[in-house]
Amino acid sequence: MSEIEAILFDEKTIERRARELAAAISKDYAGRELVLVCILKGAVVFTADLMRYLSIPTTIEFIQASSYGDAAVSSRMITMKKDIDVDVKGKDVLLVDCIIDTGDTMAYVMERFREKGPASLEAVVLLDKKPRRRVDVAVKYIGYEIPDRFVVGYGLDYAQQYRCLPYIAALTPGAE
């Protein structure tokens, strides 16, 4: 089993940043109703916290898209296992993900949503791993930039483990 090497962001730090992001989103979307689209499974914890801190009307939808499976490295093959069931044409849509690294998944999902005709389409991620970016994708709201480390916790997993950790941690190099 992999080992936790270091805690990068503790519970209080994550909560503070989620509140700051929610305040910025609430300000930007004041007077409008926002559709939050949680990218499962990793973003479920972040989405739950974010939506509790928003001060504007929101609805929530879920999709499941991934390029990892049970691996520690992206396969670059995006799979969409679940899509939304509602029409978002003419609505403000905010995609919520826990992390963006290569950009492949976010670019894929954004393109799929552009085809649905939303009034606006933006993204929020808690973690941005820019050193691994292969696809230039615009993310309006970013919690933290992180180095090229494999991270787990707060919804992020390795082979479906560690999602329940209340903090974000790096795994020991080579352990994953």
Task: Let me know if residue 102 belongs to a domain.
Answer: yes
Q: What is the pLDDT of residues 114-125, one digit of tens each?
A: 999 999 999 999
Task: Let me know if residue 90 belongs to a domain.
Answer: yes
Domain harbouring 74, CATH code = 3.40.50.2020
Task: Let me know if residue 164 belongs to a domain.
Answer: no
Task: Let me know if residue 60 belongs to a domain.
Answer: yes
Decide if 101 is catalytic: yes
Q: What is the pLDDT of residues 48-71, one digit of tens each?
A: 999 999 999 999 999 998 765 554
Q: Which of 101, 104, 128, 157 is catalytic?
A: 101
Task: Let me know if residue 175 belongs to a domain.
Answer: no
For residue 110, count CB atoms less than 10 angstroms from its CB and return exposed for 0-12, middle for 13-18, buried for 19 or more. Answer: buried
Task: Let me know if residue 19 belongs to a domain.
Answer: yes
Which residues have CB under 8 Å from 32's CB, separation 6+? 56, 92
Task: Let me know if residue 5 belongs to a domain.
Answer: no
Domains identified in the chain, total number: 1
